[in-house]
């Protein structure tokens, strides 16, 4: 790693207690500024990833709300059937997707002439319709509210986003900045590094290598 070679050279120069050229000090200042900018950039990227994940959750809720609302209105106004799925299986599957709270509103707003639909166990799932269009329209706000609650319940515990790579990068940059700061401190006063300070530098280097 190029930075580590530079660090070794600068440590040797400090141990020799030689006068540090201004160019070297300027290079250290530039390095420190570069570390700061990289850390800020990585933090911004971390925030961007978090924001994108939040947008994905919002989009998921929007799509699920629309799908469930369409399905609910289909059962409230028609008698759905699919050629390749048995009627009982279709009723059970859709009822599971909608949830019991949404199902209760659908059964209260189903239009007249719609037949009862039973599940695989022979028990009614969607009740025979008894309402009219006026009652159905009045129930739509309640239906939307129940669907939103269902979607929120399904998506309230999304999988945690793994940001450990960003944390590791920040730790490495902080270690490099500590190394840079120690070297700059001694080069500014042009003194010889003590054994303890040399050990401190070595510990910081090992942190970066991990």
Tokens representing residue 110 in the block: 């189903």
Tokens representing residue 177 in the block: 């900045």
CA distance 144 to 156: 18
The pTM of the full predicted model, rounded to 2 decimals, is: 0.56
Mean pLDDT of 199-210: 59
CA distance 122 to 103: 17
Mean pLDDT across the chain, nearest whole number?
77
Tell me, what DSSP letter sits at residue 121? T
Where exactly are the structural domains of the chain? 2-48+179-209, 59-155
Identify each DSSP E strand in 29-80 by its residue range. none
Residues 39-75 have pLDDT tens digits of 777 777 777 777 777 787 788 888 999 999 999 999 9
Q: Say if CB 149 and CB 100 are below 8 A apart.
A: no
- Measured over the CA atoms of residue 98, residue 100, residue 101 and residue 105, the dihedral's sign is positive
């Amino acid at each position: 790693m190029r930075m580590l070679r530079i660090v070794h050279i600068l440590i040797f120069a400090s141990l020799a207690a030689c006068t540090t050229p201004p160019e070297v000090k300027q290079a250290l200042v530039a390095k420190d500024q570069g570390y700061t900018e990289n850390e800020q950039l990585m933090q911004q990227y971390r925030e961007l990833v978090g924001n994108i994940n939040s947008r994905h959750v919002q989009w998921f809720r929007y799509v699920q709300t629309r799908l469930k609302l369409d399905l609910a209105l289909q059962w409230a106004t028609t008698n759905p059937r699919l050629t390749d799925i048995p009627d009982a299986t279709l009723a059970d599957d859709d009822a599971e997707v909608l949830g019991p709270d949404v199902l209760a509103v659908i059964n209260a707003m189903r239009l007249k002439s719609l037949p009862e639909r039973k599940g695989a166990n022979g028990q009614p799932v969607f009740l025979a319709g008894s309402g009219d269009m006026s009652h159905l329209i009045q129930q739509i706000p309640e239906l939307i509210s129940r669907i939103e609650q269902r979607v929120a319940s399904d998506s309230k515990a999304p999988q945690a986003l793994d940001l450990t790579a960003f944390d590791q990068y920040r730790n490495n940059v902080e270690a490099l900045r500590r190394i840079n700061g120690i070297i700059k401190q001694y080069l500014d006063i042009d003194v010889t590094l003590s054994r303890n300070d040399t050990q401190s530098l070595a510990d910081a280097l090992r942190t970066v290598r991990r």
